Amino acid sequence: MNDQDNIIYMDYHATTPLDPQVVEAMMPYLTTCFGNASSTAHVFGWKASDAVEKARRQVAGLINCSPEELIFTSGATESDNLAIKGIAYAYKHRGNHIITGTTEHHAVLDTCAVLENEGFKVTYLPVDEYGMIQPQQVENCITSQTILISLIYANNEIGTINPISEIGKIARKHGVFFHSDAVQAIGKIDSDVDRLGLDLMSLTAHKMYGPKGIGALYIRKRKPEILLDPMIHGGGQENRIRPGTLNVPGIVGFGEACELAKSLMVEEGKRVSILRDKLHHALFNRIDRIYLNGHPANRLAGNLNISFEFVESEALLAGLNNIALSAGSACTSGAVQASHVLLAMQLKEELAHTAVRFGLGRFTTEEEVDHVIDAVVKEVHRLRQLSPLYEGNLPNTG
């Protein structure tokens, strides 16, 4: 028996399992249809190239762009780097100022830090108590030197959804390029690039039931053309912006995942939000001194981030060894420091260290939610009985 067979998976923000239909679509390109999409002299290459272009159309259909506006990458981190560094280097003659937020993914924050070391100026916008950026904050920071705004669409830790479409109007009014790391939103909420007013958007497949190691960058086709300095050199693929042999099986899987998401997104969102709300209300009814992190309504359907006061998140996760959960971003879960997202929301560090992220998704069942509720309640109570801090904060009923 596989060690995973008896474990409930509730870490859908870290990654998602491959949908069986995605696996089925990929299999021919992992076996018999093994051609290089750049080999145009024979049928093996033609089949691979046709599959790539079909997938490009499928991805484009999910975000309402033209297929020519998509560049395939290795994933969201590369897409974020390509968008931010690509704009910064290509337009440094126009300005050196970038606006981003304090709750961005490290793929954005670390990229901006590198650019700061190279002389660029970066404004890190604070967030409100729900982890949200307000459009007026963005407009107040724009200067004649601002060349790029990069803000996350839906936060990977707390699920809060930023008002991207309102910020998009501000960016357009001031003639500033607008990029969003939208990997948690794609396939879960409407991500129409025209409605959002985005010039660039980062996507990845593995957050939406597709394979790992494949992503895309949307680059709006407009006049004058948006120029990006490439980070990789050595071929003519993807308009020379991202050269290299194309990951045909991954691209095919990405396309199929987008096709599925387009048809399932609305009903899936309703079902997952019902399960999330059941988990939310049951935990809050049965455990005291717990707090919701993130916006109570304007959040992803499958996200529930809770601080359990007097219970260290790592201890809680260790006790729940039959449930796959996270204490924060998958990219930083090996670290013991408090989440930068929660600290940016002005959450006390003690509470930030008690936060657990529940991530529900396509294959989460009601029976699993019931089990998680009981297990979490039992383990929180057990750990608090061992905590002198909790005992000292109980109400005096004598």
Give 186-196 pLDDT, tens digit per residue: 999 999 999 99
> Rounded mean pLDDT of 383-392?
83
Q: Does the pLDDT at position 53 exceed 60?
A: yes
Determine how β-strand 355-359 pairs with β-strand 177-181. unpaired
Q: Which helix (H) or strand (E) holds 261?
A: helix 248-286
Say what percent of the chain tops pLDDT 90: 89
Burial of 394 (0-12, 13-18, 19+ CB in 10 A): exposed
Q: Which pLDDT does position 2 carry in this prediction?
A: 53
Residues 24 and 56: their CA atoms lie apart, in Å, by 18
Q: What confidence score (pLDDT) does residue 261 get?
A: 98
Residue 392: count other Cβ atoms within 10 Å of its Cβ: 8
Instruction: Judge whether 71 and 83 are in contact, CB under 8 Å.
Output: no
**What is the dihedral sign for C-alpha 91, 95, 97, 100?**
negative
The answer to which of 40-44, 217-221, 374-378 has the lowest mean pLDDT is 40-44
pLDDT, residue 3, reads 65
Chain-wide mean pLDDT for the chain?
94
For residue 71, what is the enclosing H or E element?
A: strand 70-73
pLDDT-derived band at 387, boundaries 50, 70, 90: confident
Q: How confident is the model at residue 40 (pLDDT cuts 50, 70, 90)?
A: confident
> What is the model's pLDDT at position 336?
64
| CA 107, chain centre distance (Å) | 11
pLDDT of residue 328: 64
Domains plus CATH for the chain?
8-15+265-392 (3.90.1150.10), 20-260 (3.40.640.10)
Is the pLDDT at 394 greater than 70? The verdict is no
Q: Which of 112, 141, 258, 331 is catalytic?
A: 331
Q: Which residues contact 300 (CB under 8 A, 6 or more apart)?
A: 154, 159, 161, 184, 185, 188, 189
Picking from 131, 138, 135, 134, the residue whose alpha carbon sits closest to that of residue 339 is: 131
Indicate whether 333 pLDDT > 50.
Answer: no
Mean pLDDT within 115-120? 98
| pLDDT for the residue 397 | 39
* Token pair of 288 as six digits: 């005291």
258 catalytic? Reply is no
pLDDT at site 396: 42
* Structure-token pair, residue 258: 């987008």
Which of 12-21, 164-173, 245-254, 384-393 is predicted with the least confidence, judged by mean pLDDT? 384-393
Residue 335, pLDDT score: 52
Task: Please report, as a single letter, which amino acid is at residue 27.
Answer: M
Q: Is the pLDDT of residue 297 over 60?
A: yes
Overall pTM > 0.85? yes
**Which residue do the tokens 């608090």 mark?**
384
- pLDDT at 393 > cutoff 80: no
